[in-house]
Structure 1
């Protein structure tokens, strides 16, 4: 039980780190561009994952089909990170996390339903409508203010959710290698593609990057990616996906709290209400149990 409680605490820290990544990207966006951020973040992460994979005794061997999926997911990851970067740069970290985090499982379910891989029930239809209502509540849609609703950052957030849903579906097709090894290769290929087509590392103005930049890069690379992803994957293996998935509900709220503390962002009641509605939709779609009833001993 003590080990399980410790793992729950580590999962809690992982979700806080994921929420904090929205704040990190907002700050990093003041220093470098999207592709430079992708190159540095995932380059550092790939290197730090090597000893973890060795320590966990996972094989680096990868089959041709899995590698093909790695390339596709890497391209999708680059698209997601661009939407993530520009949405947060022009919008707010709090709204971005509140919108994107619950939208990802909703979009994943919707895409699978449209592909015929999921059967849509009345409960699912209601849940999808609930999720849409949550997002519209965050956007204050009843004001009919086009300048407030149809801003570019909201489009970036929606595209980010769609692209990550696509990444989730693609990566789930790989069943012959460990998820953590698949993720490692995805980061390696992502860095290679960005280096090949978008970034010349020698042209990055390293002399302009101060301690605040490096602190946020370290947090997003080590805490939000290497640490959080490793704990999440281990949690799925040890506790099961159903139990671990409930911790994802902490991500938007940690992002909102950290955005208020470190970015001085203003949060209104409708963002909180919309987040709750969207998370309720995710809970219904995925049959997630937040609090389990303990059986009374006789």
Structure 2
């Protein structure tokens, strides 16, 4: 009995530790929008993406070597790896290009809240196509969440007319959110260790930006000040490598649904950190839209039944 009690206390203690680490990971992801915005002041979108992927690739290779993780895969999943890598490259370009003309906080909120909503819609369509569910088969909480998501989107996009829907900010970040949602569906099909997936997806994205090797502009970043390298290091190492690593460990110890609930904190951290470091004051529409979107994601993804069928 004492042994069971001791094991329960150890398990509870380990859970609390992972709660803290998950909070740190979400803070890193929220802060990545600020770092990305700062980096756009120094170089073009494709140059920043190139250096980011190069640093991440080196870091992932080191981790694979240290933990002796195999990167072998079956031929049947090659197409999913290829498509996921392409989506990763497109997402990074859209993110950096969009941040040239948008606030980091608002961009972070729009992208991180719309991504799971797009993922849900795509998953629902996929299940309908496979005949696993009927098109109109939606639990009440998911239907309500989807309605809230549409309303929140209208606030976040600040839609006043059809023309405002097509402004550069909305186009860049809606496409980025949709692209990441598509990539998440591809990565679900890849049965590999998370670090191995990260290795291939990063490698393929790096290859997409490999022509930067031959551009003189690529090496102009070596003349940049410490602020550039600090933000690049934060984005590549803390946000992409460490943050993602913690997230995958969180899934292992806390379970997928509990771990994914922490993702709701990312847009809040994006707004807060943008306010602290960039003096960006979010509009009331952004705040109200983000609250609605977070609640919508909670209803759809955390309590969603349809998503558990794939």
Whether TM exceeds 0.5 here: the answer is: yes
Kept after mapping to 2: 8 A contact 1:28/1:216: yes
1:160 is aligned to 2:176: yes
**SS of residue paired to 1:133:** helix
TM-score when normalising by structure 1: 0.89
1:98/1:206 Cα in 2 relative to 1: closer, same or farther (>3 Å)? closer
Q: How many residues align?
A: 285
Alignment of structure 1 residues 279-298 onto 2, 5 Å: 279-288=294-303
1:48 is aligned to 2:64: no
Kept after mapping to 1: 8 A contact 2:260/2:302: no
Kept after mapping to 1: 8 A contact 2:94/2:173: yes
Indicate the RMSD between aligned Cα atoms, in angstroms: 2.0
Structure 2 residues without counterparts, runs of 5 or longer = 1-11, 305-310
Deviations 1:113-169 (A, max 9, x none): 22325744152333212111112122333xx26675542111111101100010000
Find the partner of 2:187 among 153, 167, 171.
171
Alignment of structure 1 residues 53-202 onto 2, 5 Å: 53-115=64-126, 116=128, 119=133, 120-123=137-140, 124-141=142-159, 144=160, 149-175=165-191, 177-196=192-211, 199-200=213-214
For residues 253 and 178 of structure 1, the distance between their equivalents in structure 2, rounded to whole angstroms, comes to: 30
Kept after mapping to 2: 8 A contact 1:36/1:199: no
Structure 1 residues without counterparts, runs of 5 or longer = 290-298
Kept after mapping to 2: 8 A contact 1:98/1:275: yes
Deviations 1:259-298 (A, max 9, x none): 1111111212221111111111111112359xxxxxxxxx
1:34 is aligned to 2:50: no
1:33/1:248 Cα in 2 relative to 1: closer, same or farther (>3 Å)? same
Greater CA deviation, 58-67 or 277-286?
Answer: 58-67
Deviation at 1:111, TM superposition (A): 1.2
For residues 276 and 163 of structure 2, the distance between their equivalents in structure 1, rounded to whole angstroms, comes to: 27
1:235/1:81 Cα in 2 relative to 1: closer, same or farther (>3 Å)? same
1:8 is aligned to 2:22: no
TM-score when normalising by structure 2: 0.85
Deviation at 1:194, TM superposition (A): 1.3
Q: Which residue of 2 aligns with 1:232?
A: 247
